[in-house]
Amino acid sequence: METFVYARTDHLGGRALPLTLFWRRVKTAGRTLLLARPRRRPVACRSVSSYQFLRRKVLFEVWFPTAETTTLTSVHCTACGFMAYSPRPTEQEVSAKYAYLKQVEPDVGGQAGYDSRALRSDLMRAGRVRDRCMPYLSSGGALRVLDYGGGNGKLLEPFVAGGHSCYLIDYNDNPVSGVTKICDDVGGFTRDAFTGDEAFDLIICSHVLEHVSDLTSLVNFFRRHLDPSGVLYAEVPQEIWAGVRLEADPVTHVNFFTRNSLARLSLINGFEILESRQEVATYGAAALEVLWILARPAERGGGASRGAPGMAVVDLPADVGALLYPSRKATLRRTYELSLKPRFKRPRPER
């Protein structure tokens, strides 16, 4: 779909960065509204923020250590609409990325630097996740809840307060009170690392799938370690709009989902979908469009075709076209929902 070019000489924006970022957003919004299609020419971003600059170091020091420049190409699946880029990082390269970042960002995925508004917003997000999941879970006592890739485990706080047993798999070594860290990632999940009952009642995977190289292995890991009546909650950002914005940061996210491709990922790996939705939500203090599903392991023999009515794999066509070539009306509505509406509507605390 698009070609992105990066150079080892790309630099920090310095004092002029705020103005550069402002004009970059203006140009992106204008181009999306007027053209509303992926860019045909190669795209580069030579001046970046400190966060983006650190990811450029990952690109050239971890993934392409001998290259002075590198080119990535965004692609999408014609069967389901899932988007990624090529060449795709391997599972080992993604693990190496987090090992590198952990050295310089010990609170990776945590809340260091968050202001009170962002902390309050995350607490409300945790409450929303709890409220979505609980109707599908047995209420006959304490639940066993795992947050995979949950940073410091902030989404587990409402479950801790409810007396449930909460566990975390993440590179962050400082989980919130009441949460037990098991290991860094799937590779570290062994009986030596976790000696308890390995079946969880709920697995939360929020804003993780967009970072993972081997999606099939991870989703199968969830199915193997869920109780037959357990529930998987998965949430990802919806970032496809007239292309994908990879020019500034090609390292943080490596997968880009549509609603159908997220559902298909669950169905073909042995889940049946209980609920699926696309909505504008929050992540920290930021407003963003998200996709989320609630799913349960399918009955043995149900296979990929099982699911909620109308959700069989054969009924999930690629739904990426309207996102890659959106109408001006849809772009204006999305701009209002993500940029203007949050400025005038303060989030209300959970009841």
Q: What is the DSSP string of 307-339?
A: SSTT--GGG-----HHHHS--HHHHHHHHIIII
How many other CB atoms are there within 10 angstroms of residue 234's CB atom? Answer: 26
pLDDT tens for each residue of 84-140: 999 999 999 999 999 999 888 877 777 777 888 888 889 999 999 999 999 999 767
**Strands 69-76 and 83-86, how do they pair?**
antiparallel
The β-bridge partners of 226 are 200
Q: What percent of the chain has pLDDT over 90?
A: 66
Peptide bond into 87 cis (omega under 30): yes
Phi and psi, residue 57, nearest 5°: -65, -40
Res 72: pLDDT: 98
pLDDT tens for each residue of 58-83: 999 999 999 999 999 999 999 899 99
The β-bridge partners of 168 are 147, 181
- The four Cα atoms 204, 206, 211, 216 give a dihedral, to 10 degrees, of 40
Res 113: pLDDT: 74
Considering 11-15, 101-105, 238-242, the range whose residues carry the highest mean pLDDT is 238-242
> 110 near 117, Cβ under 8 Å?
no
Q: Which two tokens stand for residue 74?
A: 């965004």
Residue ranges in the chain assigned as alpha helix (H): 17-34, 50-58, 91-104, 116-133, 157-161, 215-224, 259-267, 321-324, 328-335, 341-344
pLDDT band at 219 (very low <50, low <70, confident <90, very high): very high
Mean pLDDT for all residues in the chain:
88
Q: Which two tokens stand for residue 76?
A: 């999408």
Answer whether CATH 3.40.50.150 is correct for domain 1-351.
yes
Q: What is the DSSP string of 72-141?
A: EEEEE-TTT--EEEESPPPHHHHHHHHHHHHHH-TTTTS-TT--HHHHHHHHHHHHHHHHHHGGGS--SS
Greater model confidence, 195 or 69? 69
Q: How far is CA 267 from CA 210, 264, 270, 308, 311, in A?
A: 18, 5, 6, 10, 8
pLDDT tens for each residue of 294-309: 999 997 544 444 344 3
From CA 280, how far away is CA 203, in angstroms rounded? Answer: 22
pLDDT band at 191 (very low <50, low <70, confident <90, very high): low
Query: Scanning the structure block, which residue is given the tokens 């997220």?
Result: 262
**What's the residue count for the chain?**
351
Residues sharing a CB contact under 8 Å with residue 254, sequence separation 6 or more, in sequence order: 84, 85, 88, 89, 94, 210, 211, 212, 213
Res 194: pLDDT: 60
**pLDDT tops 90 at residue 16:** no
Q: How far is CA 250 from CA 12, 93, 130, 262, in A?
A: 16, 13, 32, 21
pLDDT band at 166 (very low <50, low <70, confident <90, very high): very high
H helices, E strands: number in the chain: 10, 13
Res 25: pLDDT: 83
Res 19: pLDDT: 84
Q: How far is CA 69 from CA 8, 13, 73, 104, in A?
A: 6, 19, 14, 24
Segment 154-166 mean pLDDT: 95
pLDDT tens for each residue of 246-269: 999 999 999 999 999 999 999 999
